[in-house]
């Protein structure tokens, strides 16, 4: 995901990420989340989430309990971000761990 943070709200992003992490269900299939800020433009934030499978990721999207739990975080996102996040679905073609 790529998001633009409204000016002056950049320092609130880690708190939002903590809020989203707190509602994550252990069986969701989420393996890793990387949140990154553009060094040259701190208003640009990227979040990479990695799942064990696309099926698990899609099931997580449709989970009514998660959708309800996400409502406060989504309200905060509307305050922090300049527009909706841009989502990109990617396929892993190679993974290297050192």
Report the pLDDT value the prediction gives residue 97, as an integer from 0 to 100: 85
Report the pLDDT value the prediction gives residue 46, as an integer from 0 to 100: 96
pLDDT along the chain (98 residues), means of 10: 95 94 92 95 95 94 94 95 93 89
Report the pLDDT value the prediction gives residue 60, as an integer from 0 to 100: 94
Where does the chain have alpha helices with state H?
A: 13-22, 54-62, 64-69, 71-80
For residues 60 and 66, is the Cβ–Cβ distance under 8 A? Answer: yes
The domains of the chain, with CATH numbers, are 2-80 (3.30.70.100)
Report pTM.
0.86
For residues 98 and 20, is the Cβ–Cβ distance under 8 A? Answer: no
Q: How far apart are CA 37 and CA 70, in angstroms?
A: 22
């Amino acid at each position: 995901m790529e998001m633009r943070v409204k000016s002056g709200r950049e320092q609130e992003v880690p708190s939002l990420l903590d809020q989203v992490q707190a509602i994550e269900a252990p069986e969701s299939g989420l393996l890793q989340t990387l949140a990154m800020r553009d060094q040259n433009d701190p208003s640009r934030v990227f979040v990479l989430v990695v799942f064990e499978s696309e099926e698990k990721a899609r099931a997580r999207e449709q989970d009514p309990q998660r959708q309800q739990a996400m409502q406060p975080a989504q309200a905060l996102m509307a305050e922090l971000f300049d527009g909706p996040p841009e989502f990109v679905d990617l396929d892993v073609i190679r993974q290297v761990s050192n």
